[in-house]
Amino acid sequence: MSKLVISSIGPASSVQDGGRHGAQRYGLMPSGAMDRLALAAANCLVGNPIFAAAIEIGPFGAAFTAREGVVRLALAGAPRSADITGRAVVFDTSMTLADGETLTLGFARGGSFSYLAIEGSIEGEPMFGSLAVNARAGLGSPYPRPLQAGDELQTKPASGAAERRIDLPAATAGPIRVLMGPQDDEFGDAAKQLFLDNEWKISATSDRMGYRLEGPVIKHLHGHNIVSDGTVDGSIQVPGNGAPIVLMPDRGTSGGYPKIATLISADLGRFAQIPAATGFHFKAVPMAEAQAEARKYWKTLRALPNRLRAIESFDLNIEALQDANVAGSAVSAVDAVTWQIASGADVLTPD
């Protein structure tokens, strides 16, 4: 048995997988990775099932040390500087940590969450088929809480397979696409237009339950209370203060504020990666387009193994390596002081 010891880690970092589904009718939030494509890519690199449990690393730096054996890893998601005992490593590749070696990661750049997959995944006791951490429900394994320095993740010894890289599809740029509704009729045309035209920013008081948006006040037509109904990942609810909140995988399963629009599922991961204080726009799309994008997204996920490539020494992306080497000084727009757990009553009380 090998293990990966957390030498240091920032907040908003936890074990996540594809989430636990099927019990939302009992109030059990699904949780799971904020960026599923990145989780899947990391897992794919080390030969795991795409939604196996991996480490979701928040915007801050982290360090991991192999103990009692060799551990094979892969990194994907928000880029950041990475080195193994001074030797730079790049994202979207697999890598091997010898017993006692440490992988050190800097702050996330141009994103919020990176994924560190471990060959053989993480040993734990699944609940509803998932190891995903949901601190509020006391769920998650091996630790039912965010990771802390000193935590140890048990895993299988490295297989010694050749290292690989993955050619991911080019990131989709452009606005975050939404379907209007289910309660867009609670808003007037001017409010809906403002929602679509305005440049939004993600507040630093955001977390895995919800991303609060900073921008103009979106006014309701008939007040801000509706009778609670079900929520999905990407529901955009507008509470009494008119500041929209995009619900994320640790959301409550029901909510009592009107939902003006819903992110399309293909854009959830891309949205989750937008760093705090970076401007972005929403764009309304028709259902047919949203569903076509959803099908394309799943096709991409399933076909990820076809994108694996062998790494040859001269095949290394020198530019990426240089980039990683100098990136230690770059930091995310989110800073350690303002990144905090949202605690306002607007997302946190039963309706």
Partner 1 sequence: MVPTLSPPRILPSGDSAITVEFSRNIDDAANQRVLALDRALASEPVAGVTETVPTYRSLLVHYDPVQIEFDTLGEKLTALAQRPVPPETKARRWRIPVVYGGEHGIDLEDVAKTLKTTPDEIVARHVAGDYRVAMIGFTPGWSYLSGLEKFLHMPRRQNPRLLTPAGTVSIGGVQAGVQCLAGPSGWHLLGRTAVRTYQLHRDPIFLLEPGDHVKFCAVDAKTFAEQDRAAEAGEIIAEQIAL
Nearest to 243 by CA among 212, 283, 197: 212
26 is a site residue for partner 1 (CB under 8 A): yes
264 is a site residue for partner 1 (CB under 8 A): yes
142 is a site residue for partner 1 (CB under 8 A): no
Among 5, 28, 194, 320, binds partner 1 (CB under 8 A): 28
How many Å is the maximal CA-CA distance in the chain? 64
Cβ atoms of 331 and 107 within 8 Å: the answer is yes
Nearest to 88 by CA among 106, 66, 109, 68: 106
Peptide bond into 157 cis (omega under 30): no
Give phi and psi for 348, each to the nearest 5: -115, 10
How many Å is the Cα radius of gyration of the chain? Answer: 20
Residue 110 CB, shortest distance to partner 1, in Å, is 26
Q: At 24, is the secondary structure helix, strand, or coil? A: helix
CB-wise, 46 or 260, nearer to partner 1?
260
Among 7, 8, 154, 291, binds partner 1 (CB under 8 A): 291
Among 253, 278, 300, 317, binds partner 1 (CB under 8 A): 253
CB-wise, 16 or 235, nearer to partner 1?
235
226 is a site residue for partner 1 (CB under 8 A): yes
223 is a site residue for partner 1 (CB under 8 A): no
CB-wise, 160 or 350, nearer to partner 1?
350
Residue 67 CB, shortest distance to partner 1, in Å, is 29
348 is a site residue for partner 1 (CB under 8 A): yes
Question: Which positions from 60 through 119 interact with partner 1, judged by CB under 8 A?
Answer: none
CA distances, 131 to each of 12, 23, 34, 54, 136 (Å): 16, 15, 15, 9, 14
19 is a site residue for partner 1 (CB under 8 A): no
Among 13, 94, 203, 235, binds partner 1 (CB under 8 A): 235
Residue 240 CB, shortest distance to partner 1, in Å, is 12
CA–CA dist 163, 93 (Å, integer)? 7
CB-wise, 154 or 228, nearer to partner 1?
228
Residue 169 CB, shortest distance to partner 1, in Å, is 18
290 is a site residue for partner 1 (CB under 8 A): yes
236: number of Cβ within 10 Å: 26
27 is a site residue for partner 1 (CB under 8 A): yes
173 is a site residue for partner 1 (CB under 8 A): no
According to DSSP, residue 92 is labeled T
179 is a site residue for partner 1 (CB under 8 A): yes
Nearest to 4 by CA among 75, 71, 60, 62: 71
131 is a site residue for partner 1 (CB under 8 A): no
CA–CA dist 101, 89 (Å, integer)? 13
252 is a site residue for partner 1 (CB under 8 A): yes
Residue 323 CB, shortest distance to partner 1, in Å, is 35
Decide: residue 244, CB within 10 A, 0-12 exposed, 13-18 middle, 19+ buried: buried
CB within 8 A of 104, min separation 6: which ones? 61, 62, 63, 82, 83, 84
Chain position carrying tokens 């594809």 = 18
**Of 32-40, 92-100, 158-166, 228-236, which part binds partner 1 (CB under 8 A)?**
228-236
CB-wise, 161 or 348, nearer to partner 1?
348
CA–CA dist 317, 63 (Å, integer)? 23
The contact set with partner 1 (CB under 8 A) reads: 21-29, 127, 136-139, 179, 181-183, 226-235, 252-254, 259, 262-265, 287, 290-291, 293-295, 298, 343, 345, 348-351
